[in-house]
Structure 1
């Protein structure tokens, strides 16, 4: 079974964290700190509950005045910066060097700094150069929408790639695990100048964030993303990748205008034949195996986005659809291609598996073919 994310906050990490804290809080007692954190409720706390709890304990060891406490946190970052030279460079292999610290410091600012905008924003700008602060920006955008979005626009031109990434990631309307931003879901216009500044960014992690922000926007305002695709397309290879990845939900939905923009037309001359499920009963931990023939009955090559839909059993007995991509390429005129696929049912922390009826269906250029049943068993 996959290790739960919350377990990255363990005794070993806390011992390292308190060792660093003593650099700026010399009288800190590590044992007292760790014992307060790992109390009788510790094992029952989930990821964000753990970071919030550690932040609460941290408050009792920092100065009572918020500005003075933030000064200590920034002093801590100055002390440990020499250990992380890659933080100041564009390094797309080492993102999240201090992921665990970021979760705690984000939570500290969210809990205790929401009423001190200027101090908190300066701290966020510094902290995000070591980790990522997108979760804490959301409550600030909700409370200070105009000021915070203006700040994000300034950050989109920052010299540090981590701050530029925050400018996009921190205003994603549907950022997973974060507070939603209803105003940006309803009207994403304040986000667009930020994405314009970042769509060609030299850092891959920044461009990925732009694509993910576009994908969020597309779920509520598809017409906005379609308009951007029309304006941005062909600007560079990097921008073309951004818009294609940013349209992944619209492509999975078979949005006709987006399909046409990416050269994906009608599937009327395409047939799916001899779909066979090799594993009609799949044990948890094993894989579904299926295969089918894809026939192009046209006299022309046809560009096909080939996907499959997996319908998962939910706890209430209904089915939940997830679309998975197989390929996107040209299929030769008057050809038959045999496709085989495996889909893992290993236990992961991001999806709860429920035994029972499941279904699989093939999708071609957004059109779904007949579903076929299989059973997930313990």
Structure 2
């Protein structure tokens, strides 16, 4: 098994952090800090809890007003990048709430070494219009990490982050930022814009579809963002999204010879199956071909999940596919025994279905 991310915060890391703070602020008690961080509850803390605990202990052991403490930490933070360094923005989130201007400047700086995407969200909730005006300015920043923060920080459904219920209901304040970043030179930034659009689509699909219709075909980078930003709508076979990308009605397309090689399998095995897609017309043309597994859940009901097979403009009249699908237990998906279902979908239309037993 891979090493848990929380173990990046080990004894050596905490001691190196303590030494760096002490070098910047000689009055800092290094031994006290290390002992308070790695207390009796340390081993039981998960990643985010450890991060917040480090922030709290920096605050206790520095024992300085926010403006003086953040000056020390901004200097120290340059040596602690990546996800591990996110306790510096967390420090701002926890202790800088009453100093808006300084907190904004600190998050802008700190995100260039790790990321301030979580820490900025309480400021958005506190004053959405004011903070989004700041973030619109960040969207023009020379540093791509800051530009990414402008998009990533306001994602309505950012994973593992504080929710932004106001933006789930009404995402209009987000759109000027996405407009400014839709042709950003950095793929890192463009991927965030696409993820933001995908978040918005889950609550406000019409907003995303209009945005995409307004901007599609204007620039290759924007078209890439639109395609990735519509991935949930495409998985849901939303007709407007299917039409946007040229996936026509698939009435003339047939799926035949759907065969499961092992329709009785154990948890941990691979499901092996094949099928043929064909048409009586001159060519299959542009198709989005997917398979859907209806998983048996703990309550005995079935829940579908969509997987892509192929997405192409086929110039032949027939094409065959063979695939395998893993039923290994994973941290993100737990399998349960029962009668499952496999379906083949073409351009949003279910064309063939079979059941299989998982033991």
Task: Compute the TM-score of the two structures, normalised by the length of structure 1.
Answer: 0.87
1:274 aligned to which of 252, 257, 270: 257
2:84 aligned to which of 100, 124, 131: 100
Q: Deviations over 1:160-204 (max 9, x none)?
A: 111001001111111111111111111111111111110101111
Provide the C-alpha distance between the structure 2 equivalents of 1:10 and 1:322, rounded to a whole number of angstroms: 38
Q: Which has the higher contact order (CA 8 A, sep 6+)?
A: 1
1:338 aligned to which of 308, 320, 324: 320
Alpha-carbon contact 2:121-2:164 (below 8 Å) kept: yes
Are 2:49 and 1:49 aligned?
A: yes
2:343 aligned to which of 361, 365, 375: 361
Give the alignment of 1:127-166 within 5 angstroms.
127-166=110-149
**How many residue pairs are counted as aligned between the two chains?**
358
Give the alignment of 1:302-341 within 5 angstroms.
302-335=285-318, 337-341=319-323
Provide the C-alpha distance between the structure 2 equivalents of 1:320 and 1:17, rounded to a whole number of angstroms: 46
Provide the C-alpha distance between the structure 1 equivalents of 2:259 and 2:303, rounded to a whole number of angstroms: 22
Q: Deviations over 1:62-85 (max 9, x none)?
A: 23312211111112135x39xxxx
Q: Deviations over 1:313-366 (max 9, x none)?
A: 43333333322222211233532x2211223344544x1413323433222112
Give the alignment of 1:15-54 within 5 angstroms.
15-28=15-28, 30-54=30-54
Provide the C-alpha distance between the structure 1 equivalents of 2:8 and 2:286, rounded to a whole number of angstroms: 44
Alpha-carbon contact 2:197-2:229 (below 8 Å) kept: yes
| Equivalent residue, structure 2, for 1:173 | 156
SS of equivalent to 2:6: helix
Are 2:168 and 1:185 aligned?
A: yes
Provide the C-alpha distance between the structure 1 equivalents of 2:38 and 2:357, rounded to a whole number of angstroms: 41
Change (3 A) 1:341 1:73: same
Alpha-carbon contact 2:281-2:317 (below 8 Å) kept: yes
1:217 aligned to which of 184, 196, 200: 200
Flag structure 2 segments of 5+ consecutive residues without an equivalent.
none
Report the CA distance between 1:15 and its aligned residue: 3.5
Report the CA distance between 1:369 and its aligned residue: 4.2
Alpha-carbon contact 1:2-1:347 (below 8 Å) kept: no
